[in-house]
Structure 1
Amino acid sequence: MKIEELNEGNWYECCDLKLPEKQAEYIESNAISIAQSKLEPSLKPFAIYFEDKVVGFLMYNTEKEELDGYWIFRIMVDENFQGKGIGKAATKLMISEMSKLPDAEKIVVGYHPENQEANHLYANLGFIDNGDRFGKEIAVTKYINE
């Protein structure tokens, strides 16, 4: 399992990935996320590989935002590859990359309260709910040096 910065060889495969219907309502499509990354250069998109096949997509911001943290913008694993620990492993790799950013003290991610998969993933990785809310989204924080 590895993550690789989005490039001309893997971007289209990322656009073809699908989420189960109940998860798709909580997250923008990969195509929209990729377009957003081209308009906002601080966003870093990556393809997630499993056994040399693109199976997921993730993106984070390299500039601090709300709550004085670096934000995870997207993490998704294709519906055919969920339940294999790929999302957790990829998120750990992303956290490792993000922790190298300047003054990286905390990483923040927001998700819809009904997205149980996201809730389980982030709680499992040590993200803490400090009660922060942005619109309908819950924002949870991972402190880097703890």
Structure 2
Amino acid sequence: MNVKIEELNASNWYDCCNLTLADGQEQYMEPNAVSIAQSKFEPSLKPYAIYTDSQIVGFLMYNSELEELGSYWIYRIMVDKNHQGKGIGKAAVKLMIDEMAKSLDAQKIAVGYHPENTGAHALYESLGFQDNGDRFGKEMAVVKNVAI
């Protein structure tokens, strides 16, 4: 399966709005339309569509400004319910980490998620993110040191 990420643009943003989460995942994440709107008012947020071949199957977004924990933060990552469990999310996060390392010279990348979101926990742990005990409100934060 050929996974790629592409910056959101006039031809792909609406398809990202129509992607859906699996039952029970909605409680952990804002709708993609909200994230896209947020990116228009916070220009440091960089939204991307996730593709397999030519089909949009997911959405991701990161912040291009250094934030808490001396890190650049992943704000959103989601894969449509019909495409989950195929390794797409993991491949997309790897591509996003590479993009952040190249374009931002990122040395630390962080992501926050609800502790009960076991899917997110497994994903980030498999990619080498570490839980150092950092908590922000209801979310835990995990950090990955990026070798440049």
Shift of 1:24: 1.1
CA distance in 2, matches of 1:99, 1:42: 15
**What corresponds to 1:46 in structure 2?**
48
Tell me how far apart the structure 2 counterparts of residues 100 and 69 of structure 1 sit (CA, whole Å).
15
User: C-alpha offsets along residues 86-121 of structure 1, whole Å, 9 cap, x if unaligned?
Assistant: 000000000000112444210000000000000000
* Pairing 1:111–2:79 present: no
Normalising by structure 1, we get a TM-score of 0.97
Alpha-carbon distance in 2 for matches of 1:104, 1:47: 21
| Contiguous gaps of at least 5 residues in structure 2 | none
Q: TM-score, normalised by structure 2?
A: 0.96
Identity over the aligned pairs, expressed in percent?
67
* Cα RMSD after superposing both structures: 1.0
Q: SS state of the match for residue 49, structure 2?
A: strand
Aligned counterpart, 1:98: 100
Structure 1, unpaired ranges of 5+: none
Counterpart residue identity of residue 130, structure 1: N
**How many pairs are equivalent?**
146
1:51-109: CA deviation from partner (whole Å, max 9, x where unpaired): 21000000000000111100000000000000000000000000000112444210000
Query: What is the identity, as a one-letter code, of the residue corresponding to 1:46?
Result: Y
Letter in 2 for 1:63: E
